[in-house]
Amino acid sequence: MLHKVFNFCAGPAAMPREVMYKAQQEFRNYQGTQVSLLEMSHRSNLFDEVIKKAEANVRFLMDIPDDYGVFFIQGGASFQFAMLAMNLLPPIGKADYIDTGRWSQKAIEQAELIGKVNVIASGKDVGYTAIPEVDDMIIDPGAAYLHFTSNNTVYGTQFHEFPDYGNNVPLVCDMSSDIMSREVDVEKFAMIYAGLQKNLGPSGMSLVIMRPDMIEKSYRVLPDLLKYSTYDHNHNLYNTPNSFAVYMLSLVTEWIREQGGVGIVERINDVKSEILYEEIDKSEGFYNGFAFAPDRSRMNVCFNLPTQELNQKFISEAAEKGMVGLAGHRSVGGIRASIYNAMPLKGVSRLIDFMSEFKKHNS
Amino acid sequence: MLHKVFNFCAGPAAMPREVMYKAQQEFRNYQGTQVSLLEMSHRSNLFDEVIKKAEANVRFLMDIPDDYGVFFIQGGASFQFAMLAMNLLPPIGKADYIDTGRWSQKAIEQAELIGKVNVIASGKDVGYTAIPEVDDMIIDPGAAYLHFTSNNTVYGTQFHEFPDYGNNVPLVCDMSSDIMSREVDVEKFAMIYAGLQKNLGPSGMSLVIMRPDMIEKSYRVLPDLLKYSTYDHNHNLYNTPNSFAVYMLSLVTEWIREQGGVGIVERINDVKSEILYEEIDKSEGFYNGFAFAPDRSRMNVCFNLPTQELNQKFISEAAEKGMVGLAGHRSVGGIRASIYNAMPLKGVSRLIDFMSEFKKHNS
């Protein structure tokens, strides 16, 4: 029999085992109906329960103020890059963006197709190994919003302190890769969004959380599905949603509740990342962390071995031992261990054991 | 033990049993990897095989010319209503639309937010019980395109003859509810699109088929994900696709190939709808078909019983006997039996037996 496999893929990423098991069990027979939930009308009572539960779980877990909107929108974060700018970036006016690498750049590129963008800080000079100092940023109080990416999967960097300008500038944050991995004060944000496929479910949908004054702020004549207000007015059922993604989100959020909530999950995530970084730091340069230590991500641990050959050897030997998805992003190479909520501590422990053994045999 | 259930839901609709079985079997362990396909990178070799297979199957089954684009776009047909107009409807100029009811109206509404729309024919006067006569339509040779909905799920009407103006006016067709249910000459169309959730898979994605000259015809500066050319240039992998929907599409299209292809499936669909309409017509007014007979849909068979009470009784007794999803659309009521590709002949036979018995006991 094969060992259990631990999947360190950056996304689409591993979902909790219990969730995958339950989804498989009821795949063809939802709640004894002999019919799959995927084959039911999105206006059926059973699906209505699922979508309401997904929303209620999200609201509970993130302690979202009642007047905020919680939207389920087809397409991932890349689609939100465009949609948020189409809604929130005025034809006259501009938005501030922080550039922390690949995904924030893509958000900037899409917004530039819509309106005027001002990049107020960038990690480019240091190869995105660090997060720009929040205190050094000069923001424009006239900016429509300030956009940033809370966690950067490619480089393994993460904001541990958020920009905060009170109510002067609405904060818009792409939390795709660390949503619900740590407690966040939602009230400080005008908009939070995340593609599901890292911490919340399969690909194909985004979760969008929006302050009420932002929802109707559509500066352009837009088709219904490109306006946030449509999702608000129709409780996410203007048209057929991605039912599978909604369902999986309901199961994943239920699982987080069962773990004890985001605060408890955060503590486990701290332990997982701490022990992994400790293994890197004690290796005396055999494992080289990519990110500036104070900005290290708790979700994506990126490091390099002394040579390309060793990187490759590490990846393939780890795979043989049931640890897969460890190759770094194609733009930076090296090793990337993605340890989202669904990665159990024992997966990280096994990786650390392997790292220790591998170093012994190869240094 | 429960009887097997036959699901007549209009959409999200039943998928082939063999497909659902296979998807369940490999849900947590794709091809022996011990990892779900949903937890793998969309840039992995295994997912690449799946997306290539889905495209190849679509091309094979519909005999699509090599130079046409085949795109997998997140969001359903409602999203395409907007996207196609944003791309294909020039700021100066207009498009012709045929109004055959609810879904074509929605397509019209979204296009009107983008540009000028001319409704050249409508079934409104007859309560959408019939398709406007194609021969009577006066089309504008200067129209950017002519849009129509090939099958109307709400009323159970279907185009059996398509508008055809040669190359003068590009035909754009929403085939969401009858794609791959019958053979269609793709070369006659500039664009065909369909949300998956009726004949092709789960909700959350559309299949778009596009003539090469239309692909680059973006009349506006648009974000990347709103341009068809982005899907073309990046082989549907500009960003993370809806992996589950792509996978299910690959399985459903494989299943259609195993049945013998679209031509064979069409013959079975003809038999299924013919025997059902025969049962209606021989009932001497107990069952009243909604649609004008020559325009009857082969996919959605809509009818009424003499009273609302009998409609309700029919729906609940059928459900007790394992035939579910028979309620008509909320806007018209009555009975609707949706008999897409995945509905086996024996499901229709069981419904006919039930109709015959029900009439005996209630007339």
Q: Choose, out of A244, A300, A350, the residue to mutate when testing the contact with B (most B CBs < 10 Å).
A: A244
Inter-chain CB proximity A205 and B204 less than 8 Å: yes
Chain A positions touching B204 (Cβ under 8 A) are: 74, 204-205, 241-245
DSSP per-residue string spanning A229-290: HHHHHTTT-SS---HHHHHHHHHHHHHHHHHT-HHHHHHHHHHHHHHHHHHHHTTTTSSEES
B273 phi and psi, to 5 degrees? -75, -35
Tokens 């006919």 correspond to: B352
pLDDT digits (tens, 9 = 90+) for A310-322: 999 999 999 999 9
Interface contact B283, partner A, CB < 8 A? no
Catalytic residues of A: 103, 174, 198
CA distance A67 to B65: 51
Measure A282 CA to nearest chain B CA, in Å. 31
What gap in Å lies between CA A143 and CA A97, rounded to an integer? 10
With a cut of 60, say whether residue A3 has pLDDT above it.
no
Encode pLDDT of A13-27 as tens digits.
999 999 999 999 999
Residue of B nearest to A13 (CA): B39
Nearest CB to B41: which of A12, A35, A202? A12
Inter-chain CB pairs, A–B, below 8 Å: 191
Q: How far is B276 from chain A (nearest CA, A)?
A: 22
Percentage above 70 pLDDT, chain B: 99
**Rg of the Cα trace of chain A?**
21
Residue of A nearest to B4 (CA): A34
| Short-list B360, B153, B113, B183, CA closest to A227 | B113
Alpha helices in chain B (DSSP H): 17-25, 45-62, 77-88, 102-112, 212-215, 228-233, 243-259, 262-281, 308-320, 345-362
| Amino acid, single-letter form, for residue A116 | K
Chain A nearest C-alpha distance from B2 (Å):
8
Q: Where are the beta strands (DSSP E) in chain A?
A: 6-7, 69-74, 94-99, 116-122, 146-149, 151-152, 157-158, 171-174, 191-195, 205-210, 288-289, 300-304, 323-324, 335-338
Q: Which domains does chain A have, with CATH numbers?
A: 19-259 (3.40.640.10), 260-362 (3.90.1150.10)
d(CA A172, CA B186): 44
Judge contact between A311 and A333, C-beta under 8 A: yes
User: What is the pLDDT at residue A312?
Assistant: 97
Instruction: Look up residue B293 and give its amino acid.
Output: A
Q: pLDDT 10s digit of each residue in chain B, 363 long? A: 345 899 999 999 999 999 999 999 999 999 999 999 999 999 999 999 999 999 999 999 999 999 999 999 999 999 999 999 999 999 999 999 999 999 999 999 999 999 999 999 999 999 999 999 877 788 888 899 999 999 999 999 999 999 887 777 999 999 999 999 999 999 999 999 999 999 999 999 999 999 999 999 888 999 999 999 999 999 999 999 999 999 999 999 999 999 999 999 999 999 999 999 999 999 999 999 999 999 999 999 999 999 999 999 999 999 999 999 999 998 889 999 999 999 999 999 999 999 999 999 998
For chain B, state the CA radius of gyration: 21
Chain A partners within 8 Å of B7 (Cβ)? 35, 39
In this predicted structure, the answer to whether residue A2 has a pLDDT above a threshold of 60 is no
> In Å, how far is A224's CA from the nearest CA of chain B?
7
- B45 interface with A at CB cutoff 8 Å: no
